[in-house]
Amino acid sequence: MSAHLQNINETRALVVPAHKRRRAASERPNWHLTAIAIVIVGAYLFPLYWLVSTSLKSPDQIFTSPPTWVPTPLDFSNYTTAVFDNPVMLRALGNSLIISIGATLLTLLLSAPAAYGLARLKLRWTGVLLLPFLIAQLLPAINVALPMFTLFSQWGLVNTYSGLILANTVGTLPFAVIVLRPFYLTIPKELEEAAAVDGATRFQAFFRIVLPLVRPGLVTVAVFAFVMAWGEFVFGLTLSTQREMQPVTVTLNSFIGQYGTQYGPLMAASTIVAIPLIIVFIVFQKHITSGLASGSVKD
């Protein structure tokens, strides 16, 4: 008996270290994957660095060969010329802010109940109803902008904030519905049934119970809707023929002339345009990550 116990103990002594070795091996960092990740991140961040670097260079440093990697001394005159002393650019930044916020709010207002209906109503043609949203995501913006210009001209919406907000919402709404629908599918129907037993209507259950539970999805949709509207170019170019109504993406073209390009002011203005997007992603990074992860469910 004692010999048998001794054999068992010896076996355990051999097995446990092997288990620990496998665990240690699994926890050991994969340096090759880390190196690949660093290279990929560097490739994405380098254009942003070059954008900011060029905006801080004097005109004679921009075209030097070999290129000046770190501008010395820093020259902020491009920002003064492009933005702070340029009322057209300041107006364009304000236009883009109004259009982006308006399109984001309207997208949330329309997509939240639309996605809820597609998630809760068990129809035989649910897949068919989702097909137009998928097709709208694939259509080039120019294919929508031209007929939209004709329609908005008849309605008096050209060169108005309402028209630009509505046009951008047309571009962001299909994406918002497709992203929000899986969030509603993760919420048990029993919660709404319990609310109905307590006397709540369907609208009350939707606003008081369902919407707070899909808050990560709403934040994700809001962030991407704002980013898409902020960077939209085709609708702004087509539906704002007056310069005072143009968004900042269209106004950036003013630095590109027939006989040359003002690279310094252009890079400075582009840096200012990119700052709100960077701030939004930094502030809502956690919500976006959790939102995309929690919304990834199967029907």
The DSSP line for 94-139 is HHHHHHHHHHHHHHHHHHHHHHHHHHHS--TTHHHHHHHHHHHHHS
- Decide if 173 contacts 132 (C-beta within 8 A): no
Q: What is the reported pLDDT for 104?
A: 96
Q: What is the reported pLDDT for 161?
A: 95
Above 80 in pLDDT, residue 242?
Answer: yes
Above 70 in pLDDT, residue 182?
Answer: yes
Classify residue 256 by its DSSP letter. Answer: B
User: 69: Cβ–Cβ under 8 A, 6 or more apart, which residues?
Assistant: 53
Above 80 in pLDDT, residue 30?
Answer: no
Average of pLDDT values for 79-94?
89
- Decide if 222 contacts 104 (C-beta within 8 A): yes
Average of pLDDT values for 127-150?
81
Above 50 in pLDDT, residue 16?
Answer: no
> Among the listed ranges 87-101, 129-143, 153-167, which one has the minimum average pLDDT value?
129-143
DSSP run (H or E) holding 287: helix 285-294
Above 70 in pLDDT, residue 295?
Answer: no
Classify residue 1 by its DSSP letter. Answer: -
Q: What is the reported pLDDT for 152?
A: 93
Q: Please give the mean pLDDT across all residues of the chain.
A: 83
Above 60 in pLDDT, residue 19?
Answer: no
Q: What is the reported pLDDT for 102?
A: 96
Instruction: Please indicate whether residue 124 or residue 255 has the higher confidence score (pLDDT).
Output: 255
Output 93-97 pairs: Cβ under 8 A, ≥24 positions apart: 93/248, 93/272, 93/273, 95/161, 95/164, 95/240, 95/245, 95/246, 95/247, 95/248, 96/230, 96/247, 96/248, 96/249, 96/273, 97/276
Handedness of CA 255, 159, 245, 277 (dihedral sign): negative
Instruction: Please indicate whether residue 72 or residue 56 has the higher confidence score (pLDDT).
Output: 56
Percentage of the chain surpassing pLDDT 70? 84
Instruction: Please indicate whether residue 140 or residue 95 has the higher confidence score (pLDDT).
Output: 95
- Decide if 208 contacts 221 (C-beta within 8 A): no
Tens-place pLDDT, residues 160-181? 999 999 999 998 998 899 889 8
Query: How far lies 222's CA from each of 68, 173, 175, 225, in Å?
Result: 39, 11, 11, 5
